[in-house]
Structure 1
Amino acid sequence: MSNDSITEKAGIVTHENELQQAAIPQAERDAIVKRLKLKLDLRLVPYLALLYLFNSLDRGNIGNARLAGLEEGTHLTGNDFYNALSFFYFGYTISQIPNMFIMKKVTPAVLVAFTMVMWGVCSTSMAATKSYSGLVAARFFMGIFEASVGPGAPIILSFFYLRHELAWRTALFFGSSTFAGAFGGLIAYGVSKNLSNEPLAPWQLLFIIEGVPTIFLGIITLFILPNSPETLESWFVTPQEKQVAIGRARSGHNTDATALDKRQLIAAFKDYKNILNCLIYIGLNIPLASYTSFLPTIVNLMGYKDAQAQLMTVPPYACAIICVFIISWSSDRTRNRGFHVAGSALVACIGYILLISSGNVKANYVGACFVAMGLYPIVPLMLSWVANNNVGHTKRAVSIAMMNMFGQCFATVGTQIYKNPTAPRFFMGYGVCLAFTAVMVVLSLALSFILKQENIRRDFEYGEPEPISPEEQQKAIEDGIYDNHSSFRYFT
């Protein structure tokens, strides 16, 4: 039996002693766990997915707005559009780590609700901008507020699910961003085709239509989003289900209650695994940021025009959705992350090779689909990989935030690489993306190999991992051992 199943089973058994003392058969206890997961799957995961859908819609609609007349309406010239894209990532980057600490201090529901209302206001206000400076200000503050949901959702999920259950749930959550790409294209198509003669310009209507619902959803979030297993409402779970949920959280190394542990903060930055994770995520975010913002432009330059160009942005995202779910499901089943990251990156490499090597419109469009199919699954895989391999709330939260922070820093590169005179071929842009995607392949395989060798070393030195109780987990955290504990084994 793997350490993962031993450790997680130990956590459940430790906390289910009360159920055992009540003489409840094992089959019934298993049924309790099954009911609990079903309830969470029907409430927590879809709602986080809905939040991220609007997060992605509001972030990426500027690409569709560009086709709908944004540059003319805000009097952008030269590189103004590219610079406006970059300012979002500046704001997103600086608020990553602070948001993780605020989340533990004020609870996830409060933080997410407040920031959703605020980024919805920022997104909607872009409809009123008349200048470059106004657009930049709105994008910058939208980046600051949007930084709560992306890195925060995996942390919230790790409170309720075991390590081998995370990638699939994270994929369901993150898959909404690919829905956002497709959905955003459909909205833009409808606006451009049917509302072009309204008093407001189509690009203004896009910001309003996609921004206003975010504000209302943020208000509702305060009452719907659960904060932790301990705070699950009695109408939602039975006392036995709540007890099991708390036990599962503890077996998932969520025993520390400190909002900020400085030793864990330092440990996160010193951990070589997190450094490699950051490098992989940098390799992902450069092509991903460019793809999200420039797919409408790329499609337009392939010969599709106006509303048709908006509509043709949908199929690549539809292909990506399917790959996100299949690859993440496989990753959880095999309990492997590295090979799945590398395989996905290889698919994206094929896409960029098609984009670079062919001037044929159909080949380019197939290449764009391959890029989406390869890039998008890597996000839930990486978020799950980091959450799997960091023990302690602060260390896990900082590690995810750190990975996002460095990734988004370099995402600004992705917003600049297509401003070259080689359109519609974009040799430099595609070449840069291909290079960084290839780096992901090498680094993910290297990290997987390193972690596998470390697991083998621990097996040889300590033998088969022993089950540890929540109290022992807490002591390991307090003593600064974290994932170096002799009974801990890494997801490779």
Structure 2
Amino acid sequence: MSIGLCSIWLLPDYPNNTQWITPFERRLAQARLADDAGEADKDNAEDSYVTPLSSPRPLAPTPSFYFSFTSPGRGLKMAITDIKVSILAVMTTSQLLGLSFVNFFPTLTETLGFNTTISLLLAAPPWILATICCCLNAWHADRTGERFFHIAGWWWGVILGFIIALSTMHTGARYVSMFFMACGYVGLSMTLVWVSNILPRPPAKRAAAIGIVNGCGNIGNLIGAFTWKAEWGPEYHQSMIISLAGLALSTALALVIRQMVVRDNRKLDEADAKAMDAVNRARVEEAARLEGITFEEAMVRRRGFRYLY
């Protein structure tokens, strides 16, 4: 808890207001964030206020009411009203339901028939492999710019593991299935990354969306705590079927999100062919200023930006 309290002052907010990095590092971080989405990574005046429906939007900050409802409030409203956030939240909930075996993994290795010490030792190798796969998967996803298969593909591996475990009680086969199951968490590690990729701006909305998806998603862990009942062991067929269904639902919802992002990219293609309005032009000009490039160069980079799917 002490370290957590200290981290409030240590963790960076935005590069432009982080004091413990050098000016060069600050500028480099700003340039990378701007290059990520083709515009400045900061809330503008339009994103920064929540006003009553009957009240006009202020032209300048005011000291009392609007100070307490700055960008976080508007970002929360924008996230709640975005259908993609709701779908991602349900997807994460069903995903964590499908991966809820993690809380009972030593119990699963105990079903292999060894003593407690051996069972605990056998629980380690699947997660060592999962760690290696997680690093390689993140590296490859970054290199290729692809997200759906780098997430859902690992869920399919878990489903394969469940099918093997449902089919036999053979010690070797069930232990192999546990490697597939553990590697399912590789996909989970990419989920919040995908949220920030498809909801990159404004930052306040992105932050609220990540919080909503992460918070609601943990409902899956809560439900999963009741699906691995001792009386269903040592086979745990009912538990695996419930988990399998959760991952199947996650896959379907992830596919829906992918198609929505593909549609959004088509809209960006159409938007590139139209004249930019004043607000969008100001964002690109700010990005160009942060990166130290011309407006024309920033426009070329903006045309290259697309949501990752």
Smaller-chain TM-score bracket: 0.7 to 0.9
For the pair 1:432 / 2:242, whether they are aligned, the reply is yes
Which residue in 1 is equivalent to 2:32?
Answer: 248
What amino acid sits opposite 1:246 in the alignment? Q
Q: Distance in 1 between matches of 2:274 and 2:171?
A: 56
Instruction: Give yes or no for contact 2:34–2:41 (8 Å, CA) kept in 1.
Output: yes
In structure 2, relative to structure 1, the CA distance for the partners of 1:468 and 1:356 (3 Å cut) is farther
Q: Distance in 2 between matches of 1:336 and 1:458?
A: 18
**C-alpha deviations, 1:72-125, integer Å up to 9, x for none?**
xxxxxxxxxxxxxxxxxxxxxxxxxxxxxxxxxxxxxxxxxxxxx1xxxxxxxx
Alignment of 1:305-454 (within 5 A): 305-373=115-183, 375-390=184-199, 391-454=201-264
Q: Distance in 1 between matches of 2:104 and 2:158?
A: 16
What amino acid sits opposite 1:448 in the alignment? R
Q: Distance in 1 between matches of 2:275 and 2:108?
A: 52
Where relative contact order (Cα < 8 A, 6+ residues apart) is larger, the structure is 2
Instruction: Give yes or no for contact 2:164–2:177 (8 Å, CA) kept in 1.
Output: yes
Which residue in 2 is equivalent to 1:58?
Answer: none
What amino acid sits opposite 1:449 in the alignment? Q
Percent identity among equivalent residues? 26
What amino acid sits opposite 2:263 in the alignment? Q
**C-alpha deviations, 1:298-329, integer Å up to 9, x for none?**
11122122222221110110111122112222
Q: Distance in 1 between matches of 2:175 and 2:281?
A: 52
SS at 1:421's partner residue?
Answer: helix
Aligned residues, how many? Answer: 263
Q: Distance in 2 between matches of 1:406 and 1:428?
A: 24
In structure 2, relative to structure 1, the CA distance for the partners of 1:413 and 1:465 (3 Å cut) is farther
Q: Distance in 2 between matches of 1:403 and 1:414?
A: 17
Q: Distance in 2 between matches of 1:468 and 1:319?
A: 47
Which residue in 2 is equivalent to 1:284?
Answer: 95
Superposed displacement of residue 393, structure 1:
2.3
Alignment of 1:209-228 (within 5 A): 217-218=3-4, 221=7, 224-228=10-14
SS at 1:320's partner residue?
Answer: helix
What amino acid sits opposite 2:73 in the alignment? K
224-233 vs 427-436, which moves further? 224-233
Alignment of 1:148-167 (within 5 A): none
In structure 2, relative to structure 1, the CA distance for the partners of 1:229 and 1:462 (3 Å cut) is closer
Alignment of 1:137-156 (within 5 A): none
> What TM-score comes out, normalization by structure 2 length?
0.75
Alignment of 1:74-153 (within 5 A): 117=1
